[in-house]
Amino acid sequence: MDSNENAATRFAALSAIFDPATKQHLLNRGLSAGWHSLEVGGGGGSIASWLSAQVGATGLVLATDINTRFLDRLSAVNLEVLRHDVTRDSLAEQAFDLVHTRMVLIHLPERDEVLQRLVAALKPGGWLVCEEFDSVSVAPDPVGCPGEVLLKTRQAMGRLNDERGGHRQYGRLLFGRFRELGLVDVDAEAHLSMVRPRSPLARLLKASFELRRDAMIDAGYITRDEFDRELAWMDTPDFVMPSPIMWTAWGRRP
């Protein structure tokens, strides 16, 4: 179960790691006062809150999530929070100057259909910006890069996500998907770094492992002792491994 404490840890880590780059990408698309913006999978609300300040009194931000427990704490006259399942619930078409998602599509078996809905929600000339992990293209390699750690826990989580219909490399596919959907001015950028003990990246990964702990053990992908040993290992001074790649892709509806 996703406890409030675990979710708060993950959202705080995501904000610390990725919010600065996310904000810059959105500003680079021309974000300004008066824009109508859609934040899908708003999570902890840090980007939704920032967006509301950027678009001002003449703009609007709609922040959606399947669970709005953190978004409901936000208060701004131009910010609307909606409990919404993007895989099933409808979205207004041609309604938004900006649609943004982060760490949403990789978890959804229906990700390609969801992308089509997000494009349909754009006004002509509106921008779609999606940020998703690719945890396949650059994996830890203790042989080629001595000192890097290949966690069995990370491999187990990958197997579990695959089993649930996720796509661990979807971030890398965004550029091609955007072009297939007819967007223009499409481009993409990627970032990765080393995961060090007690860093925001380490906290994010540990919280993600904890969220799936029982499911990974019940599936037989890892034992309880292995899980506990590896999470303790992540706090030791010599622990290091490359992070998943965060891909940001953007494109504009003609």
What is the number of structural domains in the chain? 1
Answer whether residue 248 shows pLDDT above 90. Answer: yes
Upper half-sphere CA count for residue 127 (Cβ side, 13 Å): 20
Give the whole-angstrom CA distance, residue 202 versus residue 180. 35
| 86 — pLDDT class (breaks 50, 70, 90) | very high
A 10 A CB-CB count for 69 gives 13
36 closest CA partner among 126, 132, 102: 126
74 phi and psi angles, rounded to 5 deg:
-80, 150
pLDDT at 179: 98
Write the CA distances from 56 to 89, 98, 123, 206, integer angstroms: 27, 14, 19, 37
Mean pLDDT of the chain: 96
Upper half-sphere CA count for residue 86 (Cβ side, 13 Å): 30
pLDDT tens digits for range 179-228: 999 999 999 999 999 999 999 999 999 999 999 999 999 999 999 999 99
52-59 average pLDDT score: 98
pLDDT tens digits for range 11-40: 999 999 999 999 999 999 999 999 999 999
pLDDT tens digits for range 107-136: 999 999 999 999 999 999 999 999 999 999
Tell me whether residue 12 is exposed, middle or buried, using C-beta atoms within 10 angstroms of its C-beta: 0 to 12, 13 to 18, 19 or more: middle
Give the whole-angstrom CA distance, residue 115 versus residue 108. 11
Beta bridge partners of 9: none
pLDDT at 136: 93
Which CATH number is 217's domain given? Answer: 3.40.50.150
Beta bridge partners of 189: 248
For residue 88, what are its two tokens?
Answer: 């099933």
pLDDT at 43: 95
| 2 — pLDDT class (breaks 50, 70, 90) | confident
Give the whole-angstrom CA distance, residue 96 versus residue 36. 5
Answer whether residue 72 shows pLDDT above 60. Answer: yes
**DSSP H or E stretch at residue 200:** helix 200-211
171 closest CA partner among 225, 135, 222: 135
**DSSP H or E stretch at residue 83:** strand 79-83
Domain that holds residue 108: 4-252
Answer whether residue 1 shows pLDDT above 60. Answer: no
13 closest CA partner among 245, 196, 205: 205
AA identity, residue 53: A
